[in-house]
Amino acid sequence: QTRVLTVDPLNPQAEVIAEAAKVIRSGGLVAFPTETVYGLGANAYDPQAATRIFLAKGRPSDNPLIVHIADKEQLFEVATEVPEKALEIAEVFWPGPLTIILRKTDKIPPQTTGGLDTVAIRMPAHPVALQLIKESGVPIAAPSANRSGKPSPTTASHVVEDLFGVVELILDGGNVFFGVESTVVDLTKEPPILYRPGPLGPEDLEKYLGRVELPDVARGMVFAEKAMAPGMKYRHYAPEKKLLVVEKRSELDNVVRLLANRMDVALLASKETINALKGIPKCNIELGSSSDLYEIAKNLFGAFRALDKSECQVGVMEPFPERGIGLAIMNRARKASGMAIIKKVEDVWKYVQ
Ligand code: TXA
Ligand code: MG
């Protein structure tokens, strides 16, 4: 039995938070909004509760969870050997969309970290998330609240689609603020490794950390052959329909025209591009204005879900500049496409007949 409760995202009602905290303390699962995407939360100290997260998502048990905290004191409950630079970037970016990997304490059970001796930690900037953690009195382990292999949820309706019936409670706080998952950086390595770009890019971190390594997998250009981090070997965010990501904006028109001759094409693009190509693709899935990469990011995962629901067979996505949050947009798009990356028009025949 799943309950859905509406919550005010900016001034969460105390009684709603209290309900949700009760579920967390009793070992249950609560889906809740964060500033990045919706999370599927459970008590991070409770091995059974952590195990239930994996079952609910259908997630491989060696893919570790992120532990969410509400204040700096909790950092030292969950992490040990915390280096100075971790404190520095926490000071700058927390609460916010930054996840740091540190050595874990014994309070965090292996179920939460997929058996690793490191733990991913983040202090979210969403009032609902922060108050839920505070009221629960424990850190909350939470991956994105999607079924494994689906795009991360950016509205409560996405969570309902994926997890209704398998979680106790879904808090509906409306749309998230960013729409792509947090930036993940491993501070147990020297130089630190950026596993996943998010709202913060390498430029943001390098101001404080010095050189940060950005592996090709983090750009989404290749599949991880050997997983640098456990989650990297799994295919993420995959729509069921074929998605092609065009690499050069100048090739987009030709790709869309070529495919539209043969099949029903969905164009995932900015409203400017959609206007420019009006009448050529059969379906249009608008991502927002090309002048606002934050808007594009916010609509991205919803667009992947819309592609699956559309009457079109294949999606073609416009490329966006890889600066700031644009790097995360392209990383998610390339992964969603299963690396169906179109560099020149003829490449399309590698992926569609
Ligand atoms: O924005 C977000 O980060 C959202 C919200 C709910 O906070 N959460 C999220 O969690 O995206 P999830 O589980 O979908 O992604 C966490 C990523 C995975 O790729 C996982 O493999 C990696 O972080 N990760 C977690 N712990 C790790 C560790 N100890 N070492 C390396 N990678 C780790
Ligand atoms: Mg996820």
HEC profile of 126-152: CHHHHHHHHHHCCCEECCECCCCCCCC
**pLDDT over 60 at 301, yes or no:** yes
> Which ligand gives the minimal distance to the CA of 233?
1
- Which numbered atom of ligand 1 lies nearest the CA of 41? 6
What is the mean predicted confidence (pLDDT) over 276-296? 97
Q: Residue 121 Cα, ligand 2 centroid: separation in angstroms?
A: 15
In the numeric block, which tokens belong to residue 348? Answer: 């399309």
Q: What is the structure's pLDDT at 174?
A: 98
**pLDDT over 80 at 229, yes or no:** no
The residue length of the chain stands at 353
Residue type at 181 in one-letter notation: E
Choose which residue among 59, 65, 66, 226 to substitute to test ligand 1 binding: the one with the highest number of ligand atoms within 8 A of its C-beta. 66
> Which ligand gives the minimal distance to the CA of 162?
2
Q: What is the structure's pLDDT at 228?
A: 64
Nearest CA to ligand 1 atom 21: 231
**Do strands 30-32 and 169-172 pair parallel, antiparallel, or not at all (unpaired)?**
parallel
Confidence of residue 149 (pLDDT cuts 50, 70, 90): confident
- Separation between Cα atoms, residue 309 and residue 303, nearest integer Å: 10
> Exposed e or buried b for every residue in 208-245, given b needs 16+ CB within 10 A?
ebeebbbeebbebeebbeeebbbbbbbebbbbeebbbb
The predicted model scores a pTM of: 0.96
> Which ligand gives the minimal distance to the CA of 228?
1
What is the mean predicted confidence (pLDDT) over 65-69? 98
334 SS3 class: helix
Q: What is the structure's pLDDT at 165?
A: 97
Q: What is the structure's pLDDT at 218?
A: 80
58: which DSSP letter?
A: T
- Which numbered atom of ligand 1 lies nearest the CA of 39? 6
> Which ligand gives the minimal distance to the CA of 36?
1
Phi, psi of 44 (to 5 degrees): -70, -20
Name all residues whose Cβ lies below 6 A of ligand 1.
Answer: 34, 36-37, 39, 63-66, 99, 101, 113, 116, 118-120, 122, 124, 142-144, 181-182, 184, 195, 229-231
Q: What is the structure's pLDDT at 219?
A: 74
Residue type at 204 in one-letter notation: D
Nearest CA to ligand 1 atom 13: 143
The number of angstroms, rounded, from the C-alpha of 210 to the middle of its chain's C-alpha atoms is: 25
Nearest CA to ligand 1 atom 22: 231
Mean pLDDT of the chain: 94
What percentage of the chain carries pLDDT values higher than 70? 95
**Do strands 341-342 and 242-246 pair parallel, antiparallel, or not at all (unpaired)?**
parallel
**pLDDT over 80 at 232, yes or no:** no
- Separation between Cα atoms, residue 255 and residue 51, nearest integer Å: 45
The number of angstroms, rounded, from the C-alpha of 59 to the middle of its chain's C-alpha atoms is: 14
What is the mean predicted confidence (pLDDT) over 15-28? 98
Do 259 and 314 form a contact (C-beta atoms < 8 A)? yes
Q: Residue 34 Cα, ligand 1 centroid: separation in angstroms?
A: 14
Q: What is the structure's pLDDT at 216?
A: 81
What is the mean predicted confidence (pLDDT) over 26-34? 98
Element (H, E) at 104: strand 98-104
- Separation between Cα atoms, residue 226 and residue 233, nearest integer Å: 7
**Count of C-beta atoms within a 10 Å radius of residue 278:** 10
Q: Residue 154 Cα, ligand 2 centroid: separation in angstroms?
A: 12
Please report which residue ranges of 211-325 form alpha helices under DSSP H.
216-219, 249-260, 271-276, 293-309
Q: Residue 346 Cα, ligand 2 centroid: separation in angstroms?
A: 33
Nearest CA to ligand 1 atom 18: 231
Nearest to 44 by CA among 86, 78, 95: 78
- Separation between Cα atoms, residue 148 and residue 98, nearest integer Å: 22
Q: What is the structure's pLDDT at 6?
A: 98
ipTM of the complex: 0.99
- Which numbered atom of ligand 1 lies nearest the CA of 142? 6
Ligand 2 is an ion; its neighbours by CB within 5 Å are 144
Q: Residue 232 Cα, ligand 1 centroid: separation in angstroms?
A: 10
What percentage of the chain carries pLDDT values higher than 90? 90
What is the mean predicted confidence (pLDDT) over 273-302? 97
